[in-house]
Structure 1
Amino acid sequence: MSEESQYSEHPGGWIEWFCAHEDHQFLSEVDEEFIRDPFNLIGIKGKFNFFNEAISMILQPTSPEDQDLEDERFLEVYQEASDIYGLLHARFIFTSKGSAIMRERFLQGKFGHCPRIYCEKQNVIPIGLCEDLKTARIKVFCPRCEEVYMPKKKCADIDGAYFGKSFPQYLLMTYPDLHPKFQLLPDTQIQVDFEPTLFGFKIAGKQGSKIKKIEQQQQYNHTITQSNISSIEQNILLQEQKQYRIQKQQQHQEQQEDHQQQSDQNKEQTHKKKNKKKHKH
């Protein structure tokens, strides 16, 4: 295939065309200068068979035509180009420019919202649960409940390695204003735990929030554990006190026996002296 047959005269180029796919809406456009920098390619080149062709495809100023997408050779290079771009994307979003772009997209809710009702449609951040390709699909992280969920938006062929495990925490640490506690409006009331009621009355046997129930169970277990520890410590103390009293009683008894024995010896000596005096007279 010649390059003329592979690409149309679309002014947006391959990167813009690739990121414009419906399933690629989480991806940002990586600067060409960043892609051309050999330093940013370290550790990536050896993983691919068509690396040079894939890089050339990524940097094309025009987008593919429909007929190119039916060519097997093109599709092989395209698959590698997608993964190479994804790995470069995972590095680009850790730069000052890349993280700034992701920050704006996060604030606009481009990545979706947390499905947990008490997070009140908190904006989420893309995350990959593994740094290796073809291991885990993209997920989203909620900074309020700090849980990971499947994204509601279509991201069928977005690999989790295109973002990595560390990106949400990096974004929150780089921009502290993104943390939910800085987003609450004055006088905003947030109900943390759900408690089921019927016409305003509590329902017997209903505990409400499972999260709250788990926390209460953990607190109860901790209390019971502490109580057991205190009980054990108290029993040990009582045993030590009992042993101490027994030892004291034994010592006191021994002292009494010694005293009685000494007294008997004194009496015996006194009696002997009296007998000697009588014998002399």
Structure 2
Amino acid sequence: MIHRVVEDISTGSDSDYSSQWISWFLSSKGNEYFCEVEEDFILDRFNLTGLNNEVANYAQALDLITDNLDDDIQDELRGSLDVQARLLYGLIHARWIVTARGLSKMLDKYKRADFGRCPRVLCQQQPLLPVGLTDIPYEKSVKLYCGRCEDLYSPKSSRHGSIDGAYFGTTFPHLLFLVYPTLIPPKSGPTELGSGAAPPAGDSRTRRRLREEPDVTAAEGGGEAISTTSVAMKAERYRPRIYGFQLNEIAKLQRWQEAVRDRQVARLEALEQQT
């Protein structure tokens, strides 16, 4: 279950906060996964269809996001509206990143490896993509998907780990690869995006990012006392969907992969029973 986390407003005056809410939100620590949603998209009410049923105080939360909130609003109401504005912006963000312009913005972040790189050695620092395991808010936190090994990972940072997966949705990663098929990583060998080569000497930002990586941990794992079989059975898997529908060829491939996994799990169970 995702808990509603409200960060302290540590920068800027109240007037700066109320007049530039989206800029403030994107610059806050822990929100680095988000991209800026264009104002025209937010102001088009067609794009927000149904969100009024998802967000309490929807109209006022929208006014806060678009910097149209009345300055005379009480401070205590502003605090509760901030929670609703975060939820509303996150749900709008999930719809924005599957549009052509939204995909383009997320592509830039993907190329910079803003979401981290796969910790597996054989993936050769393949950049990761954020994904939600459900489109319903407050159910699952965001996971990071590797298009090379096709596994899911949890963000290492607790700030990123508390982000709701519904703010990225179940469609985004695979739709990005469908729109930009040249980005689909090979299953072996080096890749352009996943190159582990050292950055240029003068690129201090890149060097710092590589020192901090990997910024992910395995989605499921355990110590020596935990059964390998139980860990394998609990591991979550990303099932590529486009607006809720699985693609036929990928679904067939995943059924075959899961059959192979089940056979391997059965072998592990037999080996553990013998020891």
Structure-1-length-normalised TM-score? 0.59
Distance 1:118 1:12, change over 3 A: farther
Which structure 1 residue ranges, 4+ long, deviate > 4 Å from structure 2? 214-219
* Structure with larger RCO (C-alpha < 8 A, sep 6+): 2
Percent of paired sites with the same residue: 34
Distance 1:11 1:78, change over 3 A: closer
Give the match for residue 44 of structure 2: 37
Following superposition, the deviation at residue 217 of structure 1 comes to: 9.8
Give the match for residue 65 of structure 2: 58
Give the match for residue 151 of structure 2: 147
Give the match for residue 178 of structure 1: 183
Give the match for residue 262 of structure 1: none
Question: Is the CA contact 2:55–2:87 (under 8 Å) kept in the aligned structure 1?
Answer: no
Distance 1:23 1:43, change over 3 A: same
Question: Is the CA contact 2:137–2:166 (under 8 Å) kept in the aligned structure 1?
Answer: yes
Give the match for residue 73 of structure 1: 77
User: Is structure 2 residue 97 aligned with structure 1 residue 93?
Assistant: yes
Counterpart code for 2:122? Y
Distance 1:7 1:33, change over 3 A: farther
Q: 72-81 vs 18-27, which deviates more?
A: 72-81
Aligned to 1:115, the other structure's residue is in SS state coil
Mapped to 2, the partners of 1:105 and 1:130 lie a distance apart of 22
Give the match for residue 29 of structure 2: 22
How many residues are matched?
185
Structure 2 residue aligned with 1:84, among 88, 92, 111? Answer: 88
Distance 1:145 1:89, change over 3 A: same
Aligned to 2:166, the other structure's residue is in SS state helix
Mapped to 2, the partners of 1:98 and 1:163 lie a distance apart of 11
User: Is structure 2 residue 179 aligned with structure 1 residue 167?
Assistant: no
Give the match for residue 46 of structure 1: 53
Aligned pairs for 1:221-260 within 5 A: none
Deviations 1:76-119 (A, max 9, x none): 11111101100100000011110001011101100001122211
Mapped to 2, the partners of 1:118 and 1:57 lie a distance apart of 46
Distance 1:126 1:216, change over 3 A: closer
- In structure 2, runs of 5+ residues without a counterpart are 1-12, 196-231, 233-258, 267-275
Mapped to 1, the partners of 2:32 and 2:261 lie a distance apart of 41
Mapped to 2, the partners of 1:216 and 1:87 lie a distance apart of 34
Mapped to 1, the partners of 2:14 and 2:41 lie a distance apart of 22
Aligned to 2:15, the other structure's residue is in SS state coil
Structure 2 residue aligned with 1:107, among 101, 111, 127? Answer: 111
Question: Is the CA contact 1:14–1:60 (under 8 Å) kept in the aligned structure 2?
Answer: yes
Question: Is the CA contact 1:177–1:183 (under 8 Å) kept in the aligned structure 2?
Answer: no
- In structure 1, runs of 5+ residues without a counterpart are 1-5, 189-209, 222-281
Counterpart code for 1:44? L
Following superposition, the deviation at residue 16 of structure 1 comes to: 1.2
Mapped to 2, the partners of 1:179 and 1:140 lie a distance apart of 16
Mapped to 1, the partners of 2:183 and 2:45 lie a distance apart of 33
RMSD: 3.3
Question: Is the CA contact 1:14–1:61 (under 8 Å) kept in the aligned structure 2?
Answer: no
Deviations 1:182-220 (A, max 9, x none): 9636xx9xxxxxxxxxxxxxxxxxxxxx9xxx969959x
Structure ID, larger Rg: 1
